[in-house]
Amino acid sequence: MDSEDKSPFGYDAFRRTCPSHTVLEMLASKWVYLVICALRRGRMRNGELARKLEGISPKMLTQTLRVLERDGLVRREIFPVIPPRVEYELTELGQNLAGLLNQIRSWSEQHAPDIRDARARAVAEHEGDLVA
Amino acid sequence: MDSEDKSPFGYDAFRRTCPSHTVLEMLASKWVYLVICALRRGRMRNGELARKLEGISPKMLTQTLRVLERDGLVRREIFPVIPPRVEYELTELGQNLAGLLNQIRSWSEQHAPDIRDARARAVAEHEGDLVA
DNA sequence: ATCCTCACTATCCATGAGGTACCTATATAT
DNA sequence: ATATATAGGTACCTCATGGATAGTGAGGAT
Protein backbone atom coordinates (compact mmCIF):
# COMPACT_ATOMS: atom_id res chain seq x y z
CA MET A 1 0.00 0.00 0.00
CA ASP A 2 0.95 3.61 -0.32
CA SER A 3 0.02 4.55 3.21
CA GLU A 4 3.61 5.18 4.18
CA ASP A 5 3.93 7.78 1.47
CA LYS A 6 0.80 9.68 2.34
CA SER A 7 1.63 12.69 4.42
CA PRO A 8 -0.55 13.61 7.37
CA PHE A 9 -1.31 16.84 5.51
CA GLY A 10 -3.11 15.14 2.68
CA TYR A 11 -0.41 16.06 0.18
CA ASP A 12 1.29 13.71 -2.22
CA ALA A 13 4.44 15.08 -3.82
CA PHE A 14 4.23 12.41 -6.52
CA ARG A 15 1.18 14.12 -8.02
CA ARG A 16 1.83 16.94 -10.43
CA THR A 17 -1.02 19.08 -9.18
CA CYS A 18 0.03 18.86 -5.56
CA PRO A 19 1.34 22.09 -4.02
CA SER A 20 4.23 20.19 -2.52
CA HIS A 21 5.23 19.09 -6.00
CA THR A 22 5.57 22.75 -6.93
CA VAL A 23 7.78 23.30 -3.93
CA LEU A 24 9.99 20.43 -4.98
CA GLU A 25 10.31 21.89 -8.45
CA MET A 26 11.52 25.12 -6.92
CA LEU A 27 14.10 23.25 -4.89
CA ALA A 28 15.29 21.30 -7.91
CA SER A 29 17.86 23.94 -8.83
CA LYS A 30 21.44 23.96 -7.83
CA TRP A 31 21.48 27.71 -7.28
CA VAL A 32 18.54 27.58 -4.90
CA TYR A 33 20.44 25.04 -2.87
CA LEU A 34 23.64 27.02 -2.77
CA VAL A 35 22.09 30.42 -2.16
CA ILE A 36 20.14 29.14 0.82
CA CYS A 37 23.19 27.38 2.21
CA ALA A 38 25.27 30.52 1.75
CA LEU A 39 22.76 32.65 3.64
CA ARG A 40 22.52 30.20 6.47
CA ARG A 41 25.05 31.98 8.63
CA GLY A 42 23.52 35.40 8.26
CA ARG A 43 22.66 38.24 5.93
CA MET A 44 24.79 38.89 2.88
CA ARG A 45 25.02 41.50 0.18
CA ASN A 46 24.54 40.76 -3.49
CA GLY A 47 28.24 41.13 -4.22
CA GLU A 48 29.23 38.86 -1.35
CA LEU A 49 26.95 36.16 -2.64
CA ALA A 50 28.29 36.58 -6.15
CA ARG A 51 31.84 36.06 -4.93
CA LYS A 52 30.94 33.10 -2.74
CA LEU A 53 28.91 31.22 -5.36
CA GLU A 54 31.61 30.58 -7.88
CA GLY A 55 30.31 30.51 -11.42
CA ILE A 56 26.92 32.10 -10.87
CA SER A 57 26.05 34.82 -13.34
CA PRO A 58 24.60 38.10 -12.05
CA LYS A 59 21.40 37.27 -13.82
CA MET A 60 20.98 33.89 -12.19
CA LEU A 61 21.84 35.27 -8.78
CA THR A 62 19.19 37.96 -9.02
CA GLN A 63 16.67 35.59 -10.52
CA THR A 64 17.21 33.00 -7.82
CA LEU A 65 16.96 35.59 -5.07
CA ARG A 66 13.72 36.91 -6.54
CA VAL A 67 12.19 33.45 -6.56
CA LEU A 68 13.23 32.85 -2.98
CA GLU A 69 11.87 36.22 -1.95
CA ARG A 70 8.59 35.55 -3.71
CA ASP A 71 8.26 32.24 -1.92
CA GLY A 72 8.93 33.74 1.48
CA LEU A 73 12.27 32.05 2.11
CA VAL A 74 14.44 35.15 1.80
CA ARG A 75 13.92 38.71 2.94
CA ARG A 76 15.38 41.58 0.94
CA GLU A 77 16.37 44.82 2.58
CA ILE A 78 17.27 47.89 0.57
CA PHE A 79 19.31 50.69 2.07
CA PRO A 80 18.65 53.96 0.25
CA VAL A 81 22.27 54.96 -0.04
CA ILE A 82 24.65 55.66 -2.87
CA PRO A 83 26.13 53.39 -4.05
CA PRO A 84 23.19 51.05 -3.50
CA ARG A 85 23.30 48.55 -0.67
CA VAL A 86 20.98 45.55 -0.61
CA GLU A 87 21.11 42.78 1.94
CA TYR A 88 19.50 39.37 1.88
CA GLU A 89 18.69 37.13 4.80
CA LEU A 90 16.71 33.98 5.37
CA THR A 91 13.25 34.23 6.85
CA GLU A 92 12.29 31.83 9.59
CA LEU A 93 10.85 29.53 6.96
CA GLY A 94 14.08 29.78 5.02
CA GLN A 95 16.21 28.98 8.02
CA ASN A 96 14.04 25.99 8.68
CA LEU A 97 14.74 24.68 5.20
CA ALA A 98 18.40 25.68 5.29
CA GLY A 99 19.03 23.13 8.00
CA LEU A 100 17.81 20.34 5.75
CA LEU A 101 19.62 21.58 2.66
CA ASN A 102 22.80 21.89 4.61
CA GLN A 103 22.53 18.23 5.52
CA ILE A 104 22.33 17.47 1.83
CA ARG A 105 25.34 19.64 1.13
CA SER A 106 27.17 17.88 3.92
CA TRP A 107 26.18 14.51 2.52
CA SER A 108 27.42 15.56 -0.93
CA GLU A 109 30.79 16.45 0.53
CA GLN A 110 31.01 13.25 2.55
CA HIS A 111 30.03 10.96 -0.29
CA ALA A 112 31.60 12.74 -3.23
CA PRO A 113 34.37 10.10 -3.36
CA ASP A 114 31.86 7.22 -3.37
CA ILE A 115 30.01 8.75 -6.28
CA ARG A 116 33.21 9.56 -8.10
CA ASP A 117 34.29 5.94 -7.78
CA ALA A 118 30.93 4.66 -8.94
CA ARG A 119 31.17 6.87 -12.01
CA ALA A 120 34.68 5.71 -12.71
CA ARG A 121 33.53 2.08 -12.54
CA ALA A 122 30.63 2.83 -14.86
CA VAL A 123 32.96 4.41 -17.38
CA ALA A 124 35.32 1.44 -17.14
CA GLU A 125 32.47 -0.97 -17.82
CA HIS A 126 31.37 1.10 -20.75
CA GLU A 127 34.86 0.86 -22.18
CA GLY A 128 34.58 -2.89 -21.77
CA ASP A 129 31.44 -2.73 -23.89
CA LEU A 130 33.35 -1.02 -26.64
CA VAL A 131 36.14 -3.59 -26.60
CA ALA A 132 33.72 -6.50 -26.54
CA MET B 1 35.11 33.52 8.68
CA ASP B 2 34.26 30.63 6.45
CA SER B 3 35.37 27.97 8.88
CA GLU B 4 31.79 26.90 9.51
CA ASP B 5 31.34 26.17 5.84
CA LYS B 6 34.47 24.15 5.41
CA SER B 7 33.72 20.49 5.57
CA PRO B 8 36.02 18.17 7.48
CA PHE B 9 36.62 16.45 4.15
CA GLY B 10 38.30 19.43 2.56
CA TYR B 11 35.45 19.91 0.10
CA ASP B 12 33.66 23.13 -0.61
CA ALA B 13 30.41 22.78 -2.49
CA PHE B 14 30.51 26.47 -3.38
CA ARG B 15 33.43 25.88 -5.74
CA ARG B 16 32.60 24.73 -9.23
CA THR B 17 35.49 22.30 -9.46
CA CYS B 18 34.63 20.55 -6.23
CA PRO B 19 33.35 16.98 -6.53
CA SER B 20 30.58 17.74 -4.09
CA HIS B 21 29.40 20.49 -6.42
CA THR B 22 28.96 17.87 -9.11
CA VAL B 23 26.92 15.78 -6.72
CA LEU B 24 24.69 18.74 -5.96
CA GLU B 25 24.14 19.31 -9.66
CA MET B 26 22.98 15.73 -9.99
CA LEU B 27 20.57 16.19 -7.11
CA ALA B 28 19.22 19.42 -8.55
CA SER B 29 16.57 17.62 -10.55
CA LYS B 30 13.05 16.99 -9.48
CA TRP B 31 12.99 13.53 -11.00
CA VAL B 32 16.08 12.43 -9.10
CA TYR B 33 14.31 13.51 -5.94
CA LEU B 34 11.13 11.71 -6.70
CA VAL B 35 12.65 8.51 -8.06
CA ILE B 36 14.79 8.09 -4.97
CA CYS B 37 11.86 8.80 -2.69
CA ALA B 38 9.71 6.34 -4.59
CA LEU B 39 12.29 3.59 -4.27
CA ARG B 40 12.73 4.21 -0.58
CA ARG B 41 10.31 1.52 0.47
CA GLY B 42 11.77 -1.16 -1.73
CA ARG B 43 12.41 -2.36 -5.23
CA MET B 44 10.09 -1.37 -8.03
CA ARG B 45 9.67 -2.20 -11.67
CA ASN B 46 9.95 0.36 -14.43
CA GLY B 47 6.20 0.37 -15.02
CA GLU B 48 5.42 0.81 -11.35
CA LEU B 49 7.67 3.83 -11.19
CA ALA B 50 6.13 5.29 -14.31
CA ARG B 51 2.67 5.02 -12.79
CA LYS B 52 3.72 6.42 -9.44
CA LEU B 53 5.62 9.43 -10.79
CA GLU B 54 2.81 11.28 -12.44
CA GLY B 55 3.92 13.22 -15.47
CA ILE B 56 7.28 11.59 -16.05
CA SER B 57 7.95 10.60 -19.64
CA PRO B 58 9.42 7.17 -20.38
CA LYS B 59 12.54 8.85 -21.64
CA MET B 60 13.12 10.89 -18.50
CA LEU B 61 12.43 7.91 -16.28
CA THR B 62 15.00 5.79 -18.07
CA GLN B 63 17.48 8.64 -18.22
CA THR B 64 17.13 9.38 -14.53
CA LEU B 65 17.50 5.73 -13.58
CA ARG B 66 20.64 5.44 -15.73
CA VAL B 67 22.22 8.42 -14.01
CA LEU B 68 21.39 7.04 -10.59
CA GLU B 69 22.77 3.67 -11.54
CA ARG B 70 25.95 5.21 -12.90
CA ASP B 71 26.43 7.12 -9.64
CA GLY B 72 25.95 4.05 -7.51
CA LEU B 73 22.67 5.08 -5.90
CA VAL B 74 20.44 2.57 -7.66
CA ARG B 75 20.97 -1.06 -8.59
CA ARG B 76 19.33 -2.48 -11.70
CA GLU B 77 18.40 -6.12 -11.93
CA ILE B 78 17.31 -7.73 -15.17
CA PHE B 79 15.28 -10.94 -15.21
CA PRO B 80 15.73 -12.82 -18.48
CA VAL B 81 12.05 -13.56 -18.95
CA ILE B 82 9.45 -12.75 -21.51
CA PRO B 83 7.95 -10.20 -21.29
CA PRO B 84 11.00 -8.40 -19.87
CA ARG B 85 11.18 -7.73 -16.17
CA VAL B 86 13.57 -5.19 -14.71
CA GLU B 87 13.66 -4.12 -11.10
CA TYR B 88 15.32 -1.16 -9.48
CA GLU B 89 16.36 -0.75 -5.89
CA LEU B 90 18.42 1.65 -3.86
CA THR B 91 21.95 0.73 -2.95
CA GLU B 92 23.11 1.35 0.59
CA LEU B 93 24.43 4.72 -0.54
CA GLY B 94 21.09 5.47 -2.13
CA GLN B 95 19.15 4.53 0.98
CA ASN B 96 21.39 6.76 2.98
CA LEU B 97 20.51 9.70 0.75
CA ALA B 98 16.85 8.73 0.53
CA GLY B 99 16.43 9.47 4.21
CA LEU B 100 17.54 13.04 3.69
CA LEU B 101 15.53 13.57 0.53
CA ASN B 102 12.48 12.24 2.22
CA GLN B 103 12.86 14.88 4.90
CA ILE B 104 12.87 17.47 2.14
CA ARG B 105 9.77 15.93 0.62
CA SER B 106 8.15 15.94 4.02
CA TRP B 107 9.10 19.55 4.54
CA SER B 108 7.62 20.45 1.15
CA GLU B 109 4.35 18.88 2.10
CA GLN B 110 4.29 20.53 5.52
CA HIS B 111 5.15 23.98 4.24
CA ALA B 112 3.39 23.99 0.90
CA PRO B 113 0.65 26.27 2.34
CA ASP B 114 3.20 28.77 3.68
CA ILE B 115 4.84 29.02 0.29
CA ARG B 116 1.53 29.22 -1.47
CA ASP B 117 0.54 32.12 0.77
CA ALA B 118 3.85 33.88 0.24
CA ARG B 119 3.40 33.60 -3.50
CA ALA B 120 -0.15 34.90 -3.27
CA ARG B 121 1.09 37.92 -1.30
CA ALA B 122 3.83 38.52 -3.85
CA VAL B 123 1.31 38.47 -6.66
CA ALA B 124 -0.98 40.81 -4.75
CA GLU B 125 1.86 43.28 -4.24
CA HIS B 126 2.73 43.08 -7.88
CA GLU B 127 -0.85 43.99 -8.74
CA GLY B 128 -0.45 46.96 -6.44
CA ASP B 129 2.53 47.99 -8.51
CA LEU B 130 0.43 47.89 -11.63
CA VAL B 131 -2.32 50.03 -10.12
CA ALA B 132 0.12 52.54 -8.69
C1' DA C 1 34.36 66.71 -16.53
C1' DT C 2 34.83 62.07 -16.17
C1' DC C 3 34.94 57.82 -14.03
C1' DC C 4 33.79 54.68 -10.39
C1' DT C 5 30.74 51.81 -7.59
C1' DC C 6 26.84 48.66 -6.85
C1' DA C 7 22.81 46.45 -7.82
C1' DC C 8 20.23 45.68 -10.90
C1' DT C 9 17.61 45.32 -15.84
C1' DA C 10 17.09 44.10 -20.58
C1' DT C 11 18.40 41.79 -24.56
C1' DC C 12 20.20 38.31 -27.53
C1' DC C 13 21.76 33.75 -28.44
C1' DA C 14 23.46 28.92 -27.82
C1' DT C 15 22.67 24.94 -25.43
C1' DG C 16 20.21 21.28 -23.84
C1' DA C 17 16.24 19.50 -21.43
C1' DG C 18 12.39 17.14 -22.37
C1' DG C 19 8.30 15.38 -25.26
C1' DT C 20 6.49 12.45 -29.03
C1' DA C 21 6.62 8.94 -32.15
C1' DC C 22 8.38 4.82 -33.78
C1' DC C 23 11.30 0.74 -33.41
C1' DT C 24 13.11 -3.78 -31.11
C1' DA C 25 12.23 -8.75 -29.10
C1' DT C 26 9.15 -12.80 -27.83
C1' DA C 27 5.96 -15.79 -24.99
C1' DT C 28 1.16 -15.89 -24.26
C1' DA C 29 -3.65 -15.26 -25.31
C1' DT C 30 -7.34 -15.15 -28.88
C1' DA D 1 -2.21 -14.97 -37.86
C1' DT D 2 -2.66 -11.15 -34.92
C1' DA D 3 -2.68 -8.55 -30.78
C1' DT D 4 -0.74 -7.70 -26.15
C1' DA D 5 2.42 -6.80 -22.54
C1' DT D 6 7.13 -5.06 -21.05
C1' DA D 7 11.30 -2.38 -21.06
C1' DG D 8 13.55 -0.29 -23.35
C1' DG D 9 16.54 2.49 -27.69
C1' DT D 10 16.66 6.16 -31.14
C1' DA D 11 15.56 10.10 -33.96
C1' DC D 12 13.57 14.41 -34.30
C1' DC D 13 11.66 18.69 -32.82
C1' DT D 14 10.48 22.46 -29.69
C1' DC D 15 10.82 25.48 -26.11
C1' DA D 16 12.87 27.08 -21.87
C1' DT D 17 16.96 27.94 -19.42
C1' DG D 18 20.97 29.99 -18.56
C1' DG D 19 25.13 32.67 -20.03
C1' DA D 20 27.19 36.76 -21.95
C1' DT D 21 26.86 41.47 -22.73
C1' DA D 22 25.49 46.09 -22.44
C1' DG D 23 22.79 49.68 -20.27
C1' DT D 24 20.88 52.45 -16.03
C1' DG D 25 21.06 55.58 -12.06
C1' DA D 26 23.20 58.90 -8.90
C1' DG D 27 26.42 60.52 -5.54
C1' DG D 28 31.41 60.78 -4.65
C1' DA D 29 36.19 60.76 -5.86
C1' DT D 30 39.89 62.56 -8.78
- State which protein residues have CB closer than 7 Å to strand D: A 29, 31, 55-60, 63, 82-84; B 45-47, 58-59, 62, 65-66, 76, 82-86
B49: Cα within 13 Å, side-chain hemisphere: 30
Give me the helix-helix angle, A30-39 and A19-27, nearest 10°.
Answer: 80
In the predicted structure, residue B128 carries a pLDDT above the cut 80: no
pLDDT over 90 (residue B85): yes
Alpha helices (H) along A4-45: 19-27, 30-39
Q: Which residue has the higher pLDDT, A126 or B112?
A: B112
Say if CB A88 and CB B130 are below 8 A apart: no
Average the pLDDT over A60-68 and give the result.
95
User: Contact A39/A84 with Cβ under 8 angstroms?
Assistant: no
Average pLDDT in the A85-99 region? 96
Q: Does B42 touch chain A (CB under 8 A)?
A: no
Q: Could B103 and A103 be called an inter-chain contact, meaning their C-beta atoms sit closer than 8 Å?
A: yes
Q: Which of A45-49, B3-7, B76-80, B111-115 has the lowest mean pLDDT?
A: B3-7
pLDDT at B96 over 70: yes
SS3 B124: helix
Confidence of residue B27 (pLDDT cuts 50, 70, 90): confident
B37 touches chain A (CB under 8 A): yes
Mean per-residue pLDDT of chain B = 89
Region B80-94: what's the mean pLDDT?
94
Mean pLDDT over B71-90 rounds to 94
The string of pLDDT tens digits covering residues B9-24 is: 788 899 988 888 888 8
- Across A34-48, A83-97, B22-36, least confident range: B22-36
Distance, in Å, from the CA atom of B98 to the CA atom of B103, rounded to the nearest integer, reads 9
d(CA A13, CA A5): 9
Q: Is the pTM of this model over 0.85?
A: yes
CA distance A118 to B26: 14
Say if the Cβ atoms of A24 and B52 lie within 8 Å.
Answer: no
Tell me which of B82 and A53 has the higher pLDDT: A53
Residues 5-34 of B with CB under 8 A from A: 5, 7, 9, 11-16, 18-30, 32-34
Domain limits, chain B: 3-131
Distance CA B94, CA A109 (A): 15
pLDDT at site B1:
45
Residue B3 is predicted with a pLDDT of 44
Q: Straight-line distance from CA B57 to C1' C18, in Å? A: 8
Nucleotides of D under 7 A from a protein CB: 5-11, 18-22, 25-28
Q: A82: pLDDT confidence band, cut at 50, 70 and 90?
A: confident
Fold of B3-131: Arc Repressor Mutant, subunit A (1.10.10)
